[in-house]
Amino acid sequence: MKMKNMNNMKYDLIIIGGGPAGLTAAIYAARYKLKVKLYSKTMGGLASTAYMICNYPSYIEIKGFELMQKMIKQVENLGVEIVYDEIESIENKKEFFILKSNSEVIETKKIIIATGTERVRLNIPGEGKFYGKGVSYCATCDAPFYKNKTAVVIGGGDAALTSAILLTEYAKKVYLIYRREKFFRAEPAWIDIVEKNKKIEIIFKEEITEIFGDQNVEGVTLKSGKKLKSDGVFIETGSIPEKKLTGMLGIKLDESGYIITDRDQKTNVKGVFAAGDITNNSLKQIVTATGEGAVAAFNAYKEVKKND
């Protein structure tokens, strides 16, 4: 594919990622009158796949796809160009950056990385079929839909245990399935709460081999052959941050692969900011992602104006 000429492709800010963090950064950057462009392979991030969101201010409930469409429309209304493409490489020229996508080469003064994470999949029968129809990767988002129902949580870390605890606020029964013989990664406090909760049944040394149902999830099959009836399956086996771009730039990551930022959302690389689930924040939610996106855009704006 022929690349576009870079002579007229110079920007103040390039945002990489089209989830809540990237879109909010674009909104703020546009209002600061920066020349900005947003790149994303898909639009809306993980938030767009949530069946229903009930914890975002101003909405009692809203489908994830609908919420993200509203954000996209706001970005477009501000005149920000959105490119559904992938950034293949970044070259740090100290005073500016050269970015190459599949179709063009561009120059920018600042970068905000908001590529988010991808949930670890089990890759078992039924997982993809029932995604959004009983299969979820976010108890915080979807737990309220399981009032007086039965749910299965898969995993043994803090995320799995806290998801199981949250689900007991709604569900009548929660199965917590973990492939090891005991919890060893989770905090002792969470383990204690889970073990004392009468609604939670812990099943160690088991794995799910299939999620079954008709139109929606009806149950799961375990490795032992046993079947459990369930209205929903919450997969909490971790998430994987995008590392391709961070490796190119030499950005410092924490032990789990998330970008380390300061309070201004700056990375260790001058001119590069990060926001949203890709960062090492402790709460990965839409509301925190939007906040980080706003902070990143504000500080990118300050640096651009200072340098100018």
Q: Which of 12, 54, 85, 142 is catalytic?
A: 142
Q: How far is CA 244 from CA 85, 90, 195, 277, in A?
A: 15, 10, 40, 15
In contact, 187 and 193? CB cutoff 8 Å? no
Q: Does residue 23 have a pLDDT over 80?
A: yes
Instruction: Look at strands 150-154 and 173-178 and give their pairing.
Output: parallel
> Which residues have CB under 8 Å from 264's CB, separation 6+?
273, 295, 296, 299
- The single-letter DSSP state of residue 224 is T
- Give me the pLDDT at residue 88, please: 93
Rounded CA separation 152/207 (Å): 12
Decide if 10-118+239-307 and 121-235 have a common fold.
yes
In contact, 287 and 3? CB cutoff 8 Å? no
- Predicted TM-score of the model (pTM): 0.76
Q: Would residue 138 show up in a list of annotated catalytic residues for this protein? A: yes
- Give me the pLDDT at residue 18, please: 96
pLDDT confidence tier of residue 6, bands split at 50, 70 and 90: low
125: left (phi over 0), alpha (psi -120 to 50) or beta: beta
Nearest 5°: the CA angle 71, 108, 299 is 60
> What is the CATH topology of the domain spanning 10-118+239-307?
FAD/NAD(P)-binding domain (3.50.50)
Burial of residue 8 (CB within 10 Å: 0-12, 13-18, 19+) is exposed
Rounded CA separation 283/292 (Å): 11
Query: What type of residue sits at position 166?
Result: L
Q: Of all residues in the chain, what percent carry a pLDDT higher than 70? A: 97
Place of tokens 């924040």: 281
Query: What type of residue sits at position 60?
Result: I
Q: Which of 141, 158, 231, 262 is catalytic?
A: 141
> Torsions phi, psi of 149, nearest 5?
-115, 180
The average pLDDT across 124-144 equals 92
- Give me the pLDDT at residue 145, please: 93
Instruction: Note the Cα 208 to chain centre separation in Å.
Output: 24
Instruction: Name which of 42, 78, 26, 10 is nearest 242 in CA terms.
Output: 42
Q: Which of 12, 54, 138, 158 is catalytic?
A: 138
Low-confidence winner among 4-8, 80-84, 174-178 (lowest mean pLDDT): 4-8
Give the three-class secondary structure for 2: coil
Q: Of all residues in the chain, what percent carry a pLDDT higher than 90? A: 78
- Give me the pLDDT at residue 118, please: 82
Mean pLDDT of the residues in the chain: 93
- Give me the pLDDT at residue 116, please: 92
- Give me the pLDDT at residue 63, please: 83
Other Cβ atoms closer than 10 A to 60? 6
Nearest 5°: the CA angle 236, 242, 244 is 155
Better-predicted residue by pLDDT, 63 or 114: 114
Better-predicted residue by pLDDT, 142 or 76: 76
**pLDDT for 176-230, tens place per residue?**
999 999 998 888 999 999 999 999 999 999 999 999 999 999 999 999 999 999 9
Q: Where are the domains of the chain?
A: 10-118+239-307, 121-235
- Give me the pLDDT at residue 4, please: 59
CATH of range 121-235; options 3.40.50.720, 3.50.50.60, 3.90.79.10, 3.30.160.270: 3.50.50.60
Query: Could you please report the per-residue DSSP string of 230-258?
Result: -SEEEE-S-EEE--HHHHHHT--B-TTSP
> Which residues have CB under 8 Å from 152's CB, separation 6+?
174, 175, 177, 208, 220, 228, 230, 232, 233, 234
- Give me the pLDDT at residue 5, please: 54
In contact, 118 and 240? CB cutoff 8 Å? yes
Copy the structure tokens of residue 172: 């009548």
- Give me the pLDDT at residue 289, please: 97
